């Protein structure tokens, strides 16, 4: 039962353009969402998060959008840079619950 889904295993984007990574969830109890970035041979690194009381959160080049009615969130990276090439994981939890449920990841490749 995959409660957090990232349906695109991979994405290629030209340097300087916008990268949009998508994530869907099925558990309506989830009310906090996070994005992690992972380079090979390293652990995931926290990028940005959003609470269900918001529909947008921005941090520099990264913006996360949340559509609660559609149970969908997306991560926008603009402009995309070569160092953004990595695997991106979407994760979700219930506020106050220590357990994160991760998606399967999307491999982003930025083409110079």
Partner 1 sequence: DTGVSQDPRHKITKRGQNVTFRCDPISEHNRLYWYRQTLGQGPEFLTYFQNEAQLEKSRLLSDRFSAERPKGSFSTLEIQRTEQGDSAMYLCASSLEWANYGYTFGSGTRLTVV
Q: Please, which residues bridge with residue 109 across strands?
A: 12
Contact 86, 38 (CB under 8 A): yes
Contact 105, 89 (CB under 8 A): yes
Is 62 near partner 1 (CB under 8 A)?
A: no
Question: Which range touches partner 1 (CB under 8 A), out of 53-61, 62-70, 76-84, 96-104?
Answer: 96-104
Distance in Å, CB of 105 to partner 1, minimum: 6
Report which DSSP code applies to 80: -
Is 74 near partner 1 (CB under 8 A)?
A: no
Distance in Å, CB of 40 to partner 1, minimum: 10
Q: Return the closest-CA partner of residue 76 out of 46, 56, 104.
A: 56
Residues making contact with partner 1 (CB under 8 A): 4, 6, 32, 34, 36, 41-47, 49, 51, 89, 91, 93, 95-105
């Amino acid at each position: 039962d995959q409660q957090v889904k990232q349906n695109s295993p991979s994405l290629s984007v030209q340097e300087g353009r916008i990268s949009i990574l998508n994530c869907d969830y099925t558990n309506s109890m989830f009310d906090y969402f996070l994005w992690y970035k992972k380079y090979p041979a390293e652990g995931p690194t926290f990028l940005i998060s959003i609470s269900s009381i918001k529909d947008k959160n921005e941090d520099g080049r990264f913006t996360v959008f949340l559509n609660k009615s559609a149970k969908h969130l997306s991560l926008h990276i603009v402009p995309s840079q070569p160092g953004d090439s990595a695997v991106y994981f979407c994760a979700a939890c219930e506020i106050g619950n220590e357990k994160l449920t991760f998606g399967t990841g999307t491999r982003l490749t930025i083409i110079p």
